[in-house]
Amino acid sequence: MDYTLLSVVSYQLSVKFIRTMKRLILPNGIQTFEKLRKSHCVYVDKTKYLVDLIDKGSVYFLARPRRFGKSLTVSTLDALFSGKKELFQGLFAEEFLARPDFQPSPVIHLDMSRINTCEGIAGIKESLLYITKDLARKMEIELSDTKMIGNLLSELLSGTAEKHQQKVVVLVDEYDKPYTDFVNDRETADMVRKVLRDYYIQIKSNDKYIRFLFITGISKFVKMGVFSTLNNLDDISMMPEYAEICGYSEEEIIRYFPDYLKETADEMEISVEDLIERMRYYYNGFSFDRKAKAKLYNPFSTLLFFGHKYFANYWIDSGNPQFLTDYLKDRHLTVEQFRNMPVSQAFAQSPGEMETTEPHGFLLQSGYLTLRPGISDELSLDYPNTEVLNSMSELLARNIIY
């Protein structure tokens, strides 16, 4: 199939369609679904995946690298279960909210990226206490005076369900963020693990009050407590049918960003066809299915590229390059050793715990490596695109790591 020709034809159809609409704004830095929709921003409709999840089950886990749309996915679920129908007009989920049997539910949204890790264990405990009490205030739930943060979460879940006389929806965003901040400090990481385990275990003990549970993170830490107790948790991270739940496919970029494709091509004095080809080379290539068929763009880099209109390494600079540099330096790793590295299907499905897995498992889960089709039924690892490869090379060169 001639994908370049397909891209250009799809782009032309998108331009014809978009001319009948008011110009939409790039949602740079917006991770809240309601704000995005009310700000007249471009929204790449992913709600068909969310409706499918709700129809098929009730307890899920999704792993994706940072800046890949996990928080927006959680926020969209929040708005969906809250019954904010006006936000879903024209989207796939509009039909779901119009079903006669649809009933909104109270939503407990735990955003673990808010946890203060700068002050160690004390700061983490204080943050968990504040977040839990803050949610209780919003739900108008009275909590006891105990300082046991796990007990307070239990009171919040049961109290909310009893107050509303229905089961609650629990959304946990970046569940592993407090832990991954200490991956290079095993002693502190183990203490953080214990604190989080005692907190998360309350989700299992309050299962009878929960209608739907959705947890996101970078890695699946089996020993942390969430996955050892929630043994019915459905990990959709590498399932082909949900490979595109986060991120942008090339077809989506052509459909939803025709104006920006045209403007950027004009700025660079090239054709739209050439621009799509260059973008594919520089930003496309992330794969999140065990067959390594779907190829995706990182939304963060894509949006900044359309905003700035020049190729740059946006994604890696948005994180903590020093953290990655230290990881690579301590292990004497090189860029070339991860090119076309053969891996098994079993590894792709479960690369291990981030803090104990081999470096290629760590880099896969962090988003610095991705899956590629290999020989026969096997797979291989490589860098997803030029942006990531250039960034890794630069980090290593900066620190003279050989």
* pLDDT tens digits along 115-128: 999 898 999 999 99
Asked if pLDDT for residue 239 goes beyond 90, the answer is yes
Output DSSP code: residue 25.
B
CB-CB contact of 303 with 371 (8 Å):
no
Whether 37 and 20 map to the same domain: the answer is no
Whether 370 and 230 map to the same domain: the answer is no
Asked if pLDDT for residue 402 goes beyond 50, the answer is no
CB-CB contact of 286 with 295 (8 Å):
yes
Output DSSP code: residue 296.
B
State which of 260, 282, 303 marks the end of a domain.
303
Residue 89 CA to residue 80 CA, distance in Å, equals: 12
**pLDDT band at 17; cut points 50, 70, 90:** very low
Asked if pLDDT for residue 7 goes beyond 90, the answer is no
Whether 298 and 388 map to the same domain: the answer is no
Asked if pLDDT for residue 51 goes beyond 60, the answer is yes
200's CB contacts (< 8 A; 6+ apart) are: 172, 175, 224, 225, 226, 229
Whether 216 and 268 map to the same domain: the answer is no
Whether 231 and 272 map to the same domain: the answer is no
Domain that holds residue 59: 31-237
Higher per-residue pLDDT: 273 or 9? 273
CATH number for the domain spanning 201: value is: 3.40.50.300
Asked if pLDDT for residue 73 goes beyond 70, the answer is yes
Mean pLDDT of 190-196: 88
- Residue 193 located in a structural domain: yes
Higher per-residue pLDDT: 92 or 3? 92
- Residue 49 located in a structural domain: yes
Helix, strand, coil tally for the chain in percent (to 5): 50, 10, 35
- Residue 165 located in a structural domain: yes
Q: DSSP 3-state assignment of 381?
A: strand
The pLDDT value given to residue 358? 86
Mean pLDDT of 139-150: 92
Whether 9 and 107 map to the same domain: the answer is no
Mean pLDDT of 267-293: 95
Whether 11 and 57 map to the same domain: the answer is no
Whether 229 and 80 map to the same domain: the answer is yes
Residue 27 CA to residue 38 CA, distance in Å, equals: 11
Task: Please give the model's pTM, rounded to 2 decimal places.
Answer: 0.90
Whether 164 and 197 map to the same domain: the answer is yes
The structure tokens 């009730």 sit at 58
Token digits for 350?
């479960």
Asked if pLDDT for residue 15 goes beyond 60, the answer is no
pLDDT 10s digits, 164-180: 999 999 999 999 888 88
Lowest mean pLDDT among 220-234, 272-286, 295-309: 220-234
Return the axis-axis angle of helices 186-205 and 120-139, rounded to nearest 10°: 20
Mean pLDDT of 257-269: 97
Q: Which of 8-22, 277-291, 349-363 has the highest mean pLDDT?
A: 277-291
pLDDT 10s digits, 215-228: 999 887 665 556 66
- Residue 202 located in a structural domain: yes
Whether 91 and 207 map to the same domain: the answer is yes
The pLDDT value given to residue 154? 96
Residue 66 CA to residue 79 CA, distance in Å, equals: 22
Query: What is 105-145 written as a DSSP string?
Result: --EEEEEGGG---TTHHHHHHHHHHHHHHHHHHHHT----S
Mean pLDDT of 256-280: 97
Higher per-residue pLDDT: 32 or 328? 32
Query: What is 266-299 written as a DSSP string?
Result: HHHTS-HHHHHHHHHHHH--B--STT----BB-H
21's CB contacts (< 8 A; 6+ apart) are: none
CB-CB contact of 141 with 184 (8 Å):
no
**pLDDT band at 326; cut points 50, 70, 90:** confident
Pseudo-torsion of CA 31, 113, 386, 299, nearest 10°?
-10
The pLDDT value given to residue 184? 75
> At residue 155, what is the residue type?
E
Whether 111 and 123 map to the same domain: the answer is yes
**pLDDT band at 182; cut points 50, 70, 90:** confident
The pLDDT value given to residue 20? 42
Higher per-residue pLDDT: 17 or 325? 325
- Residue 79 located in a structural domain: yes
How, if at all, do strands 234-235 and 210-217 pair?
Answer: unpaired
- Residue 308 located in a structural domain: no
Query: Listing from the earlier edge strand, what are the strands of the sheet with 234-235?
Result: 107-111, 168-173, 210-217, 59-63, 234-235
**Residues 358-374 as b or e (16 or more Cβ within 10 Å = b):** eebbbbbbbbbbbbbeb
Whether 20 and 73 map to the same domain: the answer is no
37's CB contacts (< 8 A; 6+ apart) are: 43, 87
CA-based nearest residue to 276, from 246, 247, 306 = 306
End-to-end CA gap in the chain: 41
CA-based nearest residue to 381, from 397, 358, 401, 400 = 358
The pLDDT value given to residue 55? 97
- Residue 391 located in a structural domain: yes
Q: What is the largest CA-CA distance in the chain?
A: 65
pLDDT 10s digits, 338-395: 999 998 888 877 777 766 778 898 888 888 999 998 777 789 999 999 999 998 888 7
Provide, rounded to the nearest whole percent, the portion of the chain with pLDDT above 90.
Answer: 63
